[in-house]
Amino acid sequence: MPTPLLLLAVLATLAAAAHPSCSPGSDPSGKCQRLASTHSATCVDLHLRTCSDASYNQTSFPTPLEHRSWEAVESSPEYIVLGVLHFLLEGQCNPDLRLLGCSVLVPRCEGGHTRRPCRHVCEGLREACQPAFDAIDMAWPYFLDCARYFTPEEEGCYDPLEQLRGELDAEEALPSGLPPTFIRFAHHSYTQMVRVLKRTAARCSQVAKTYSIGRSFEGKDLLVIEFSSRPGQHELMEPEVKLIGNIHGNEVAGREMLIYLAQYLCSEYLLGNPRIQRLLNTTRIHLLPSMNPDGYEVAAAEGAGYNGWISGRQNAQNLDLNRNFPDLTSEYYRLASTRGVRTDHIPISQYYWWGKVAPETKAIMKWIQTIPFVLSASLHGGDLVVSYPFDFSKHPHEEKMFSPTPDEKMFKLLARAYADVHPMMMDRSENRCGGNFLKQGSIINGADWYSFTGGMSDFNYLHTNCFEITVELGCVKFPPEEALYGLWQHNKEPLLNFLEMVHRGIKGVVTDKYGKPVKNARILVKGIRHDVTTAPDGDYWRLLPPGSHIVIAQAPGYSKVMKRVTIPLRMRRAGRVDFILQPLRAGPKNFLSGPSRASPWTQDPRGEAAQLDFEPPRARRQPASGSKPWWWSYFTSLTPHKPRWLLKY
């Protein structure tokens, strides 16, 4: 594995002075003994760079780890580990882990008394972050022992992450005299975006809520605002749709459009707009305005009009997030040449995890595994066109080649649903932005435009039930503020029209003869080699173009059921088609091979299925019998006081 330069620099600077942080033999495990709470102390100013953003500015000595000076703290293995966890865990749980560690390494001191951090905060963070440690075969650091160094709430503890949460919960008052429905058509910083989304969710609490799907590499929440008649839960046969913006940090129009859309949906719902009320009462909508908040900060520092074509495009790890997903399209082309093999819900190869996977990418992958999304759009900038899968050419060496999915007709309908009501996309001038796509109706197959691997849209289609298109909102990636209102006017109706497309096709519930839901049942459509699967409640959604279709439901241990359905040309509500499966009297029939959607499986190098917890162990990082994990070499210069407490064995 290539060694991160910054990681080496930190270790080289700190390693030489490392020394033990407690007396040898003080604990059978070699760890420091638990210290009693210190009620009185001499407070000194906190000047430790790693902890400069802690919620307090004074500490005291000795610390709970028995460090008695700044030199002892800065040369300790605990301090070195705290400084590099960010890199070892590839940005996961940052800055939470660092701030939690600071609360032990340099305890809070105020008014001549030390205060200990809350145990429940530690326990919550350990539960969330343990998979990240397991993925690199590292033990939970002893100095983050929740029972030893943290205290219950009733004993007067404090929350070391309070400031981090406070930044997200802070209110931003509207300018005086403006109605609550006012939308500020301006660029939003990360903090402003979070405040607007949280304020919007508070205004429409009966139909909206915010939640985070994870953190960026630099620790920013990937914040989603959800709209539904019952926010926070999946309702039977209510389709789920997501819109994602700012996957490239310097393509900011999509980010702002989704911030405006969230405010618009809330305001119009409260004002009684029947279209919006019907949409929110029948659909669960998830808006992620910024998938790449770190990249946005880089682009925003240059400002609108000054931003380069690629400055801020990547995340903080210098990864292009829309090239960072598993390449399942190549596997699809291989499978498609074999008759009788499933080409949908393709598992993720174990080899994928050997590469560098961004925390933002992991968050999206886990998100779409958790929620049964039906429809999605990713909003970009740089041109004016709607593209749809496949994005990778069926002949890898062809840079431009029409490469349709089995659902080509449906994808074209989805793309047209956006383009046909966009005034600029329908402008007949070939000299305008996107004019070269005019003959195709401002839509194009992605690979026919330009081919690339690792895209999010192909991954959605081949790994889950979700159909995703890509919308390029304009030729200027970071438009000036005065252009934002016009962009909103051009995209408001296309966004609403696209959201309503989730109700096309058919939906229903698959049950057994006793009425019990059958999850992971397959819904097949003759002539379309791409199946969808039922959610845990047995419900399904199948986007289909108008016409007659033969639909089949089947599951292991049950007889398959076949129905003919006709979808009228102008039908705008999904037709309900339920299936009742009868158990087989004899042994189960041979079904087409392939894993089901809801089972998180991966393929190991031998071709055998292995369960995946979405914080996958990396094959290159697993130690052979008797050897040390890959990251141990980073600490070899810390002799004689290496952090052996990070080893699991």
| Cα 565 from Cα 550, distance rounded (Å) | 6
CA distance linking residue 339 with residue 463, whole number of Å = 19
Give Cβ neighbours of residue 442 (< 8 Å, ≥ 6 apart).
384, 385, 386, 419, 422, 425, 426, 434
Asked if 440 and 416 count as a contact pair (C-beta separation under 8 A), the reply is no
**pLDDT (tens digit per residue) in 554-605:** 999 999 999 999 999 888 899 999 999 999 976 554 444 444 333 333 333 3
Segment holding 298, helix H or strand E: helix 293-302
CB 228 within 8 A of CB 210: no
- In this prediction, residues 598-622 reach a mean pLDDT of 37
Query: How far is it, in rounded angstroms, from Cα 50 to Cα 53?
Result: 8
Kindly report, residue by residue over 454-484, the tens digit of the pLDDT.
999 999 999 999 999 999 999 999 999 999 9
**Could you report the per-residue pLDDT of 188-244, keeping only the tens digit for each?**
999 999 999 999 999 999 999 999 999 999 989 999 999 999 999 999 999 999 999
What phi, psi does 78 have (nearest 5°)?
-60, -40
Tell me, what's the pLDDT at 174? Answer: 52
Distance (Å, rounded) from C-alpha 581 to C-alpha 600? 24
Cα separation, 236 vs 395, in Å, equals 41
Q: Identify the pLDDT of residue 585.
A: 79
At residue 517 the predicted structure's pLDDT band, cuts being 50, 70 and 90, is: very high
User: Could you give the CA distance from residue 258 to residue 473 in angstroms, rounded to a whole number?
Assistant: 12
Predicted local distance difference test score (pLDDT) of residue 429:
86
DSSP secondary structure letters along 317-359: TS--GGG-S---HHHHHHHHTSTTB--SSPPEEGGGGGS---H
Q: CA of 375: how far to CAs of 296, 349, 415, 500, 542, in Å?
A: 25, 24, 12, 10, 10
Burial zone of 544 (CB within 10 Å; 0-12 exposed, 13-18 middle, 19+ buried): buried
Residue type, 526: K
What percent of the chain clears pLDDT 70, i.e. is strictly above it?
A: 84
Beta partners for 548? 566
13-63 pLDDT tens trace: 444 333 333 433 344 334 444 444 445 788 999 988 888 888 899 999 999
Q: Quote the percentage of the chain above a pLDDT of 90.
A: 64
Three-state DSSP state, 260:
helix
CB distance 64 to 35 below 8 Å: yes
Query: How much of the chain is in helix, strand and coil states, percent to nearest 5?
Result: 35, 20, 45
Q: Has residue 175 got a pLDDT over 60? A: no
CB 253 within 8 A of CB 210: no
Residues 370-387, mean pLDDT to the nearest whole number: 97
pLDDT score, position 577: 97
Contact 84, 7 (CB under 8 A): yes
- For residue range 250-277, list pLDDT tens digits in order: 999 999 999 999 999 999 999 999 999 9
229-243, 387-401, 510-524, 604-618: range with lowest mean pLDDT: 604-618
Confidence grade of residue 626 (pLDDT, cut at 50, 70, 90): low
Q: Which residues contact 202 (CB under 8 A, 6 or more apart)?
A: none
Average pLDDT over residues 398-414: 96
pLDDT score at 397: 84
Residue 289 corresponds to which tokens in the numbers above? 């305005």
Q: Read off the amino acid at residue 509.
A: V
Tokens describing residue 295: 């990249």
Report the C-alpha gap between 556 and 418 in whole angstroms.
39
CB neighbours of residue 218 within 10 Å? 17
Catalytic, out of 472, 481, 482, 500? 472
pTM score, two decimals?
Answer: 0.77
472 is catalytic: yes
Whole-number average pLDDT of the chain = 85
CA distance 544 to 548: 10
Q: What pLDDT was estimated at residue 127?
A: 87
d(CA 214, CA 223) in angstroms, rounded, equals 8
